[in-house]
Amino acid sequence: MARRGVEVTEIRKAVCLPLSRRIEVGLVAPEVWENYALCRRQFSWYRQSSRQGQTLVVSSVPLLEAAPDPAVIIKNSFFRPPRLPDREAQTALIQRESYRNSRPEEWENIEAKDREEQQKWLKVMGLQDLTFEELFVGHCANHANFIEPAYQVLEDHRPVPYSLGQTRTVCSACLEFYNIIGTPFKKKYVVPCPGAVLFAGMVPNHYYEVISP
């Protein structure tokens, strides 16, 4: 790729960085999912998935002919959710066996230090009226909906799950963008989390189409 004049950027921190328009090709080595402290708890989904140990390549240009077919293609969309869950419905989503059997233990381990960091984040996002525990229910429900969709649309007779809230209430959208969660589905509609907006310049509150070719 270097011989073709394609610039390859090795990502060492936030794995959503390669989604930026400023990066032509981004490379994320397996150890990044282990060592990046800010999202280490969230990345536990990667570490217990079939993707563990694999290198992620995110490209805005066609790869070499010898490269594997893409796991996903991320596109713009004009999707709007037909309905969204209230708090009671969110709680019901995370009580299902499909979510409980899929979640990593580390994902649920909200330590005191993590709470402190999240409270600072809530202030930045203008969510002082919520506790992190309340927001975390939405984070879990959002992932749960991509494991066993309760909120979905039908396209070509196939279920298409979608994110369950705006950017400020979504966490670790990279897991859906990179097909670590929601692998069985041909298509997903995914809203970027605050990190993807800040680090990669993705549009907040906007649904992106994620296709598994």
pLDDT tens, residue order, the chain (213 aa): 778 888 899 999 999 999 999 999 999 999 999 998 888 889 999 999 999 999 999 999 877 777 778 999 999 999 999 999 999 999 999 999 999 999 999 998 877 556 677 777 667 666 667 777 888 999 999 999 999 999 999 999 999 999 999 998 899 999 999 999 999 999 999 999 988 998 999 999 999 999 998
Measured CA to CA, the distance from residue 18 to residue 26 in angstroms comes to: 5
Kindly report the backbone phi and psi dihedral angles of residue 27, in degrees, each rounded to the nearest multiple of 5, phi listed first: -120, 125
Which positions ≥6 away from 40 have C-beta within 8 Å? 34
Measured CA to CA, the distance from residue 24 to residue 194 in angstroms comes to: 22
**Two structure tokens written together for 36:** 């990046």
**Two structure tokens written together for 37:** 């402290």
Which positions ≥6 away from 112 have C-beta within 8 Å? none
What's residue 94's pLDDT? 97
Residue 142 has a CB neighbour count (10 Å cut-off) of 30
Could you tell me the pTM of the whole model? 0.92
Whole-number CA gyration radius for the chain? 17
